[in-house]
Structure 1
Amino acid sequence: MPPPSALDIRTSSVVRLIKEESSYHKELASAKKSLEKMLAGEEPDEYELRQQRKVVEETKAMIPEVRTRLQTALEALKFQLELQKSPESEPAQCKEKAQKAIDDAQKLLGEALE
């Protein structure tokens, strides 16, 4: 089996970062829900509240970081795809997968701007 091409590597990177951002959004929703439960309870423990608030803030802080890395990886993938314009350079399947990753990333980044 041949080693993965640069296009495959860049595509995998973008796909991974899309999943990572989605994971942080899910984690943030879960942490907020947990914090709300704690606040709704009778006499919540201040230490636990501080810790949960810290989790929420740290998770929020990671989303822009992942988004920045995704933008960088997206630009690298677009550049790599441009380099692979000749039909025989990469299999069509790899190019289609790369284009789908580009479309998904642009959709995700576009939603973030709204």
Structure 2
Amino acid sequence: MAPRSQLEIVTSSVTRLVKEEASYHRELEQQIERIKKLESSQDDDDENKEFLAKQENMAMEETKKVLPSLNQKIVDSVKELEALIAEESQKGTEGNAAHITAAQEAIAKAKTAER
């Protein structure tokens, strides 16, 4: 089996980063819902309520801190992938057509991903 080309590696990297970003957004939504649920609960006697709310808020803030750096990684990887596509297109090798198409699809997904 031939080693993977740089185009394939960066394409899979962009795809992975987009999936990871979507996962963090889902996690953030879940944390927000848990915080709302804790805040709206009528059980004022619960001694753990304040502690749980504080923990959920800390987790939410940590998740929010990850998103900007992850977004920058995606932007950088997309730029690298676009450069590799241009390079491969100039070479004109027909065997790379499928890899170029996959790379272009990964770029499209990255640009339309939730930000």
The answer to whether the superposition gives a TM-score over 0.5 is: yes
Instruction: Give the structure 1 partner of residue 31 of structure 2.
Output: 31
Q: What residue number does 1:81 align with?
A: 85
TM superposition outliers: structure 1 runs of 4+ over 6 Å: none
Unaligned runs of 5+ in 1: none
Structure 1 contact 24–59 (Cα < 8 Å) conserved? yes
Please state if 1:101 is matched with 2:106: yes
Q: What secondary structure, in the 3-state scheme, does the structure 1 residue paired with 2:4 have?
A: coil
Query: Is the contact between residue 88 and residue 96 of structure 2 (CA under 8 Å) also seen in structure 1?
Result: no
1:58 pairs with 2:54: no
Aligned counterparts of 1:83 and 1:74: Cα–Cα separation in 2: 14
Opposite residue 101 of structure 1, the aligned amino acid is A
Q: Which amino acid aligns with 1:74?
A: V
Give RMSD over aligned pairs.
Answer: 1.4
Paired residues, what number? 110
* 1:84–1:90 CA contact under 8 A, matched in 2: no
> Could you tell me the TM-score, scaled by structure 2's length?
0.88
Q: Percent identity?
A: 32
Larger radius of gyration: 2
Q: What's the TM-score once normalised by structure 1's chain length?
A: 0.89
